[in-house]
Amino acid sequence: MEPFFPELHPNPGWHKSYALNDTETLHTISSENIGRHCILELYQCDHAKLNDEAFIRTTITSSAKIAGAKLINLVTHSFKPQGVTGLALLAESHISIHTWPEIGYAAIDVFTCGDHTMPEKACKLLSKEFLAKHLSFKNISREIPTEIHTLHREP
């Protein structure tokens, strides 16, 4: 299965403002990118891969690399009787994976800051490696609200 991932880089689907309802409006968004947060849910995955801590460590490392991110640290934990959680600290933010092998499910977040990384590529690799038969993918842009855009930030 070849899932659909819009390879929209560096500015996918950005809008100037978002309305919550008739009485609420979120902050107006500037054009300066903070980053992108991809939410990936994988269904009907290979049960053995979802429960293999070493495989998950390798797959997280590969997904960070293909996204163009710098891996700083990687922590994983294998649960008993099953399931693995993995968290990669990236120079650009993080990748997290939580698995439920008993139902063939993985919940994945890939959040990268800046415009030099491509978290969509990491998600595409992860869905392929876990042999997901179905998936849900959301790409959320993170931008600076206009109200604080002009504030001075120290690097």
Enzyme catalytic residues:
93, 98, 113
> How far is C-alpha 9 from the chain's CA centre?
15
Cβ neighbours for 102, distance < 8 A, ≥ 6 positions apart: 47, 82, 83
Question: What tokens appear for 87 in the block?
Answer: 């968290």
Question: Is 51:101 a contact under the CB 8 Å cutoff?
Answer: yes
Strand partners, 93: 112
